[in-house]
Chains A and B, each alone.
Chain A
């Protein structure tokens, strides 16, 4: 993380507040805290903020404010920011059916890493993953820090269709596809939870700074949860103030 944030103009309606140039938890907490403060204080002219691993893209209305004025205000807010007071995110428990038809690459991952399928699942479910940012597709979480023992390369040829809910791993990353899309990650399982549903009051249930913990389920439990999701009666379990 930088000692002082950098501010850069982005066209005539936005600016970039860059806090670092790497993927690290401290930076993420800072970004989360900064956005909360901006919302709390209500900075004149700011329309929308888009957090990412290391920066915040800030849209403003140039009829109301400009780059210099907004930067001055943001610097003042940053001066008030106390990372220690940024609340730890919640941990969302995501049930996953691993392997078989819904996790076609689990076998490959086991073979590649020299582990059994059960060991791969154990390792994948043994830690909480920080949600650094959402992007690529609606509600798609970028999760940090996957265990070295189960790191595998991407598919050489991406699949043309990966169904929403698929849990994938690639390199140091793991994530959950939120809409049907092409993709090159190794798919090891499927969750019945809809992380993105445009017709729900809150279309995206994850927030940056929260954590995800994967929990393996049986086919029976998967089917039961799926029914609950479809009838709107199932909500994923959330541990407040995260054990992450």
Chain B
């Protein structure tokens, strides 16, 4: 396929694991829920590489018969000028033009192709990590005029769709669940109260590395800096100014700010789909509830796959 307009688009998959000890971020799709559903809709294994676009989607000219699906954030998507829908799989013919344009709701869109994007894996993943100049297409975002190939896929996986109950709605005010810690003891009681009871607005300085939020400052008890340690996905760092930052897939592997809480895995996609100006509330849940939610989250992919393939 040929990329006529690139938008802000990169190749992403599940991520690059096993190298964090050497300072290598995991990268991967920001919203793993939409990314995985996209692969299911086009008949792929969960792990194939897709295109991820942020706020501005690409325009693509197909050069071969291809099955594709759009998931995640809603763009003004058309195929040959005719509106098409998210969470459906479609078949495209050579010469067809898919145009996403600007985002309408949500933040990250995924275009999944039957057979997946065919680029060489680096350290076990096809995900683009721009700072490390690796993965995807030459370790960079797509640019106008690029061409990409897909692997051999199932060309009959079109006309599939996701059950309505599994389609997320992207509200402008979201509540995300967190497990407190590992450094919640660095904050005053008041600071913890503020964190759990105040709205935080997503700011413009938000990207795949992390979302910087703005709101009532969270009060530290022992200072904002710790001797650097590992930074997990979803860590809520609070630097000296008391403004939280949620760490996402391109985060650095280690950091020296206090981490008040960690967003649970199932709610990371909802963080990722928030846009600058949207509001995030934090809700604390027990570790037991977090496990339960994670199991439910993981198992639903199997249920969805069964439904998609049998309806």
To the question of whether A and B form a pair in one complex, the answer is yes
Residues of A bordering B, CB below 8 Å = 8-14, 16, 18, 21-23, 35, 47-57, 59, 62-63, 66-67, 133-140, 142, 178-179, 181, 196, 198-199, 203-204, 208
- B265 contacts the other chain (Cβ, under 8 Å)? yes
Contact A53 B227 (CB under 8 A): yes
B141 at the interface (CB under 8 A from A): no
User: Are A50 and B254 within 8 A (Cβ)?
Assistant: yes
Determine if B232 and A47 form an interchain contact, defined as CB atoms under 8 angstroms apart: no
A136 close to B17 (CB less than 8 A): no
A134 to B253 CA separation, bound complex (whole angstroms): 9
- Report yes or no: B254 in contact with A133, Cβ–Cβ below 8 A: yes
Contact B182 A9 (CB under 8 A): yes
Contact B122 A135, beta carbon cutoff 8 Å: no
Render B289-306 as a binary contact track against A, CB cut-off 8 A, 1 for contact.
Answer: 011011100100000000
CB of B230 within 8 A of CB of A56, answer: yes
- Docked pose: A156 CA to B133 CA in angstroms: 28
What's the least CB distance linking A89 to chain B, in Å? 15
Closest to A23 in B: B227
Decide if B229 touches A54 in the complex (CB within 8 Å). yes
Give residues of chain B (44-79) contacting chain A, Cβ–Cβ below 8 Å.
Answer: none
Contacts of B139 in A (CB 8 A): 198
Q: Which 10 A-B pairs have the closest CB atoms?
A: A57-B230, A135-B254, A11-B262, A8-B182, A50-B230, A204-B22, A12-B290, A52-B229, A198-B134, A134-B23
Q: Which residue of A lies closest to B120 (CB)?
A: A199
Query: Which residues from chain A contact B104 at a C-beta distance below 8 Å?
Result: none
Give the docked Cα–Cα distance between A19 and B9 (Å). 41
Within 8 Å CB of A133, what residues of B?
A: 228, 254
Given A10-B182, A135-B253, also A142-B228 (CB < 8 A) = yes
Minimum Cβ distance to chain A for residue B184 (Å): 9
The contact string, 1 if C-beta is below 8 Å from chain A, for chain B 151-186, is 000000000000000000000000000110111000
The closest CB in chain B to the CB of A20 belongs to B227
A203–B226 CB distance below 8 A: no
Q: Does B92 contact A (CB under 8 A)?
A: no
| Residues in B whose Cβ lies below 8 Å from that of A181 | 131
Check B203 for interface membership: any CB of A closer than 8 A. no
In the complex, B132 has a CB within 8 A of chain A: yes
Cα A113 to Cα B255 in complex, Å, equals 30
- A13 in complex: contacting residue of B229, B255, B294, CB < 8 Å: B294
CB neighbours (8 Å) of B264 from chain A are 11-12
By beta carbon, the residue of chain B nearest A202 is B22
B123 part of interface (Cβ distance < 8 Å): yes
Kindly provide the distance from the CB of A171 to the nearest chain B CB, expressed in whole angstroms. 13
Cβ-defined contact, A137 with B23, below 8 A? yes
Known: A9-B181, A11-B263, A181-B131. 19 other contacts (CB 8 A): A8-B183, A10-B179, A10-B182, A12-B179, A12-B264, A12-B291, A13-B294, A18-B182, A50-B254, A52-B254, A55-B230, A57-B229, A57-B231, A62-B295, A135-B23, A135-B252, A138-B19, A178-B23, A203-B24
Residues from chain A with Cβ under 8 Å of B22 in the complex: 134, 138-139, 203-204
Shortest C-beta distance, B230 to chain A (Å), equals: 3
Chain B residues within 8 Å of chain A by Cβ, number: 47
With an 8 A cutoff between CB atoms, is B21 at the interface? Answer: yes
| B291 to chain A: closest residue by CB | A62
**CA–CA, A180 to B21, complex, Å?**
20
Q: How many A-B residue pairs have CB under 8 A?
A: 140
Asked whether, in the complex, the Cβ of B227 is within 8 Å of the Cβ of A54, the reply is yes
A134 to B254, CA, bound (A): 8
For A18, what are the chain B residues with a Cβ–Cβ distance below 8 Å? Answer: 182, 229
Q: Which of A22, A54, A135, A196 has the most CB of B within 10 A?
A: A135
List B contacts of A47 (CB < 8 A). Answer: 17
- Given B131, B179, B183, which contacts A11 in the complex, CB threshold below 8 Å? B179
A203 touches B21 (CB 8 A): no
Kindly state whether residue B198 has any CB partner on chain A within 8 Å: no
- For this complex, 7 residue pairs linking A to B, each with C-beta atoms less than 8 Å apart, are A8-B183, A11-B264, A50-B20, A54-B227, A57-B231, A179-B131, A198-B122
How near does chain B come to A88, taking the closest CB pair, in angstroms? 19
CB proximity of A195 to chain B, nearest CB, Å: 10
For residue A59, which residue of chain B has the nearest CB?
B232
- Do B18 and A48 have beta carbons less than 8 Å apart? yes
B121 to chain A, nearest CB (A): 11
Residues of A within 8 A of B298 (CB): 63
Evaluate contact between A198 and B132: CB separation under 8 angstroms: yes
Q: CA–CA, A35 to B254, complex, Å?
A: 17
CB distance from B9 to the nearest CB of A (A): 21
A51–B122 alpha-carbon span in the complex (Å) = 23
- A residues less than 8 Å from B232 (CB atoms): 10-11, 13-14, 57, 59
- Flag whether B221 is at the interface (Cβ < 8 A): no
Tell me the bound Cα distance from A191 to B131 in angstroms: 20
Report whether B229 and A16 are in contact in the complex, using a CB–CB cutoff of 8 Å: yes
Check: B234 CB closer than 8 A to any chain A CB. yes
The interface residues of chain B lying within 8 Å CB-to-CB of A196 are 132
Whether A50 pairs with B253 at a CB distance below 8 angstroms is yes
Q: Which residue of B lies closest to A142 (CB)?
A: B228
A52-B230, A54-B229 as given contacts; A198 in contact with B179, CB under 8 Å? no
